[in-house]
Amino acid sequence: MGVRKKYLANVATLQYSSDKCTGCGRCVEVCPQGVFAMRDKRAAITDKDLCMECGACALNCEFGAITVNSGVGCAAAIINGMITGSEPSCGCGDTATGCCG
């Protein structure tokens, strides 16, 4: 297995419309999984299954070319969210949960 590790296939909610891309390269700069690469002065998705939905690209794309349903990929947080009916959120900082390295 290479440097980049993949999680489940076909679940990532990443959406990219290349017609809005201006080729600034911000998405390539911020993605820690190498999902984006520059091809012909525009960003292109290399492998969507690498996406972990952190949301850095969508937040930093000035041109609204990227959307992703981002959130914490932490089982404890999601279970908490299911029980309390709220958005999953890490317990870090509030209580002594083990979440977040």
Residue in 7, 17, 18, 39 binding another protein, rule: CB under 8 A = 7
Q: Total residues contacting another protein (rule CB under 8 A)?
A: 52
Q: Is 15 helix (H, G, I), strand (E, B) or coil?
A: strand
Angle (CA) 41 52 76, round 5°: 160
Q: How many CB atoms lie within 10 A of CB 24?
A: 15
Q: How far is the CB of 17 from another protein (least distance, A)?
A: 18
Please give the residue ranges that form the binding site for another protein (CB under 8 A).
1, 3-9, 11-13, 26, 28-34, 50-56, 59-60, 62, 69-79, 82, 88-90, 92-93, 96-101
